[in-house]
Amino acid sequence: MISPAFDKAPPEKQLGVINAGFSCFGETGFQKTSMRDIALAAGISKASLFHYFGTKESLYQFLFHFACQKVGENIPVGTQDFMECISIATRAKFQVLARYPGMYDFLVSVTLDEAPEAENLRQNFNARAAEEASRILFSKVDWSRFREDISPEDAINLVSWVSTGCLKANPKSSQDEILAQVNRYLELLKPAIYKENQDE
């Protein structure tokens, strides 16, 4: 996906390309963004950008996996409470997004973009489901609090759809607004997931 040349590039140049890619793709989506746009934003030649990545799709894939990796690395061990773990993970995600200008808009764009390349990324991500990050986050969860007809997989899928839906429905909202909305919906979901008197 990436040539060894990009790995050998100075860190500041790598960061410039990454942030330029986030910004450009996040603003105009996959199809309307050109390698020339990204090269100009990064302050490098278009030839260098093609040398690093080969194709626009390869760069797009790299940026998505880079973002997912950085978010996953920042996910801490959670608590016994499943819903609290989701809030912790959401806050941790936003901490990473704050370090990379444009990453938030990029991820929202991937969520909303109708381009086949974006759909491919979404399917790959859903298939993998950030398994290692989830294992760490939920390692202390007391699953016995769940209703008998709710499996851990059901609960994880449910809250994932809620958080993704919040992004899709409010792409221009601030991170604080999204977090507040996610937390509100998590509270509403507690009676549907937990046994009676288990949400105290």
Q: What angle do CA 183, 138, 175 make, to 5 degrees?
A: 30
The DSSP secondary-structure symbol of 111 reads H
Mean pLDDT, consecutive 10-residue stretches, the chain (200 aa), reads 82 96 96 97 96 94 90 90 89 85 89 89 65 86 92 87 77 80 89 75
Q: Please tell me the distance from the alpha carbon of residue 89 to that of residue 74, in angstroms, as a whole number.
A: 9
Quick one: 153 exposed, middle or buried, by C-beta within 10 A (0-12, 13-18, 19+)?
A: exposed
Query: What is residue 56's predicted lDDT score, i.e. its pLDDT?
Result: 96
The label of the residue with tokens 């390349």 reads 117
User: Both tokens of residue 114?
Assistant: 């109708």
Query: What is residue 87's predicted lDDT score, i.e. its pLDDT?
Result: 86
Quick one: 17 exposed, middle or buried, by C-beta within 10 A (0-12, 13-18, 19+)?
A: buried
Q: Please tell me the distance from the alpha carbon of residue 5 to that of residue 49, in angstroms, as a whole number.
A: 10
Query: What is residue 129's predicted lDDT score, i.e. its pLDDT?
Result: 46
Query: What is residue 135's predicted lDDT score, i.e. its pLDDT?
Result: 86
Query: Which of 38, 2, 36 lies closest to 17, judged by CA?
Result: 38
The DSSP secondary-structure symbol of 77 reads P
Whether the CA torsion 26, 30, 32, 35 is positive or negative: it is positive
User: Both tokens of residue 82?
Assistant: 């499943």
Task: Report all structural domains of the chain as residue ranges with CATH numbers, in order of start.
Answer: 4-193 (1.10.357.10)
Quick one: 11 exposed, middle or buried, by C-beta within 10 A (0-12, 13-18, 19+)?
A: exposed
